[in-house]
Chain A
Amino acid sequence: MEKNPLTLIGTQLVRSDASEKVLGAAKYVDDLHFSDTVYLAIRTAEVASGALRSIDISKARGSHGVLAVLTHADIPGENQMGSPVPDYPILLKPGDEIRYVGDYVAFVVAHTREQALRAAEKVTVMVAEKKPVLSLNERIRELQKGGDYVPAVHQKIRKGDSDPKTMFDSCDYVFEGDFFADYQEHAYLETQGMIALYDQDNVMTIYGSMQCPYYVQNGVARALGFPINRIRIIQSVTGGAFGGKEEVPTYFAIPAALAAYHLHRPVKLVLSREEDIQWTSKRHPIKSRYKVGIADYGRLRSIQVEAHADIGGHSTLSPTVLWRSSVHAAGAYEIPNVRVDVYGHYTNKVPSGAYRGFGSPQVFIGIEGIIDDVADHLKKDRLYLRKINALEKGKTTPTGHLLPESVGAKKTLEEVERLSDWERLKERVAQFNREHKHLKRGVGIAHIHYGVALGAMGHALDASGAFVNVLPDGSISVHIGGTEMGQGAKTVIGAIVGEVLQQPMEKIHVYQTDTFFLPDSGPTVASRTTVFSGNAAVLACQELLKTLTALYSTEMAVPPQSVRYTGGVFSNTEGQKPVGFGELAGIALKKNIGLCATGWFQTPRLTWDPENGFGEAYVTYSFASQIVVVEVDCLTAEVVVKEVYTAHDVGKALNPDGVIGQIHGGFVQGMGYALYENLKVNEKGKIVSDNFNTLTIPTIHETPEIFKVSIVEEPFSKGPFGAKGIGEPSLIPTPAAIANAVSDAIGKRVREIPIRKEYLLDLIRTAP
Chain B
Amino acid sequence: MPKRALSFVLNGERVEWEVEASDTLLRALRENGLTSVKRGCEEGECGACTVVIDDEAQKSCLVLALEVEGKSVLTTEGLPAAPGKLHPIQQAFVDEGAVQCGFCTPGFIMTTYAFLKAHPNPTDEEIRHALSGNLCRCTGYLSIIKAVKAAAAALSNQSGAAEGGR
| A interface list, Cβ under 8 A from B | 14-15, 17-19, 21-28, 30-31, 186-191, 237-242, 270, 272-273, 485-488, 657-658, 660-661, 664-669, 691-693, 697-701, 703, 705, 707
Contact = CB atoms under 8 A, between A and B. Distances in A.
B138 A240 contact: yes
A249 to B, nearest CB: 15
B158 interface: no
Nearest to B45: A692
A23 B140 contact: no
B138 A700 contact: no
Given A15-B99, A18-B94, A22-B90, 6 more contacts: A22-B109, A31-B35, A239-B101, A657-B97, A661-B97, A703-B141
B103 A14 contact: no
Interface of B is mostly: loop
Interface in B84-119: 86, 90-91, 93-95, 97, 99-106, 109
A665 B140 contact: yes
Nearest first, the 4 A-B pairs at minimum CB distance are A24-B36, A486-B101, A239-B103, A21-B102
Interface in B129-161: 129, 131-145
B141 A22 contact: no
A242 B137 contact: yes
B20 to A, nearest CB: 11
Given A15-B94, A691-B45, A700-B134, A190 B105 contact: no
A698 B36 CA distance: 23
A21 B105 contact: yes
A15 B97 contact: yes
Interface residues of B, number: 53
A685 to B, nearest CB: 23
Contacts of A273: 40-43
A487 B101 CA distance: 7
Contact of B105 (A22, A187, A658): A22
Given A189-B46, A699-B132, A701-B132, A665 B102 contact: no
28 contacts: A14-B94, A17-B99, A19-B94, A22-B102, A22-B109, A23-B77, A23-B80, A25-B77, A30-B35, A186-B137, A188-B137, A189-B48, A239-B103, A240-B103, A242-B137, A273-B40, A486-B102, A661-B138, A665-B138, A668-B140, A692-B41, A693-B43, A697-B135, A697-B137, A699-B133, A700-B134, A700-B145, A701-B128
Given A15-B94, A22-B76, A189-B48, A691 B41 contact: yes
Contact of A27 (B35, B42, B43, B140): B35
B78 to A, nearest CB: 9
Nearest to A660: B97
A19 to B, nearest CB: 6
Interface centre among A15, A19, A23, A189 (most CB of B within 10 A): A189
Contacts of B101: 188-190, 238-241, 485-486
Contacts of A191: 39-40
B124 interface: yes
A691 B61 CA distance: 14
Nearest to A486: B101
B97 A658 contact: yes
Contact of B39 (A30, A668, A700, A701): A30
Contacts of B94: 14-15, 18-19, 22
Given A22-B93, A485-B101, A668 B141 contact: yes
Nearest to A707: B142
